[in-house]
């Protein structure tokens, strides 16, 4: 994809959110590879967000997040980061037919900062390839006014970690590129939605 006609002020920003903080997790290798593939694909500025680097702890804000009346610096820092993106790629393992608690907690911390953005999902796991975690995210994200794209990347840990190392398949690369193509188109459209909403209240 050719992004040469984009300027820093118009270039889309996509946050790649690694949703597992578990010691010994496999998601960090997948996330590093995905960031590399996304940068090669182009079309946006991509940033990896590892939840392990943000000491959010259990949700400790006394006020409804829609009010943005945050009492803690870690929330303000998180909100500012999330607000800076046009869209996201959520990388999630499947834990007991769902997503990790750390990811759900991070989603719950803020609200308006997520609104009117687009998202793609990369899930991973055993025989179901994390697909049930993706289903859970597709229930949660609309409540945050995040539009999810249809293309989804499901990673079988048996296939890509069969040797112990992360070995991506050709089909995995194809799936990622399809998801990114849809995500960038939707992220651009949702930016227009936000700008239209802002003009109505100006």
Task: Check which CATH number belongs to the domain holding 125 and give it.
Answer: 3.40.50.360
Please determine, for residue 1, whether its predicted confidence score (pLDDT) is greater than 90. Answer: no
Single out the residue of 135, 113, 22, 24 nearest to residue 65, CA to CA.
113
Q: Domain span at residue 37?
A: 13-201
Distance CA 147, CA 72 (A): 28
174 assigned to some structural domain: yes
Percent of the chain at pLDDT > 70 equals 95
**Which of the pair, 17 or 165, is modelled with greater confidence?**
17
7 assigned to some structural domain: no
Number of domains in the chain: 1
48 assigned to some structural domain: yes
2 assigned to some structural domain: no
Distance CA 162, CA 160 (A): 6
pTM tops 0.85, yes or no: yes
pLDDT, position 9: 67
In this structure, the chain runs to a length of 202
pLDDT, position 159: 86
Q: What is the mean pLDDT of residues 98-105?
A: 98
Per 3-state DSSP, the chain is made up of helix, strand and coil in percentages (nearest 5) of 45, 20, 35
């Amino acid at each position: 994809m050719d992004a040469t006609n984009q300027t820093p002020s118009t270039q889309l920003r996509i946050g790649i959110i690694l949703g597992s903080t578990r010691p010994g997790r496999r998601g960090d290798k997948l996330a590093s590879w995905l960031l590399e593939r996304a940068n090669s694909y182009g079309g946006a500025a991509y940033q990896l967000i590892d939840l392990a680097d943000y000491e959010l702890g259990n949700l400790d804000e006394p006020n409804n997040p829609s009010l943005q009346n945050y009492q803690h610096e870690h929330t303000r820092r998180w909100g500012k980061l999330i607000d800076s993106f046009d869209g996201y790629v959520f990388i999630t393992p499947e834990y007991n037919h769902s997503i990790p608690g750390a990811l759900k907690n991070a989603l719950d911390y803020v609200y308006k900062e997520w609104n009117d953005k687009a998202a793609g999902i990369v899930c991973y796991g055993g025989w179901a390839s994390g697909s049930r975690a993706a289903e859970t995210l597709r229930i949660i994200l609309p409540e945050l006014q995040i539009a999810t794209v249809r293309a989804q990347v499901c990673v079988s840990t048996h296939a890509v970690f069969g040797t112990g190392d992360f070995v991506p398949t050709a089909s995995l690369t194809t799936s990622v590129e399809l998801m990114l193509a849809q995500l960038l188109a939707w992220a651009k459209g949702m930016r227009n939605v936000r700008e239209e909403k802002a003009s109505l209240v100006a």
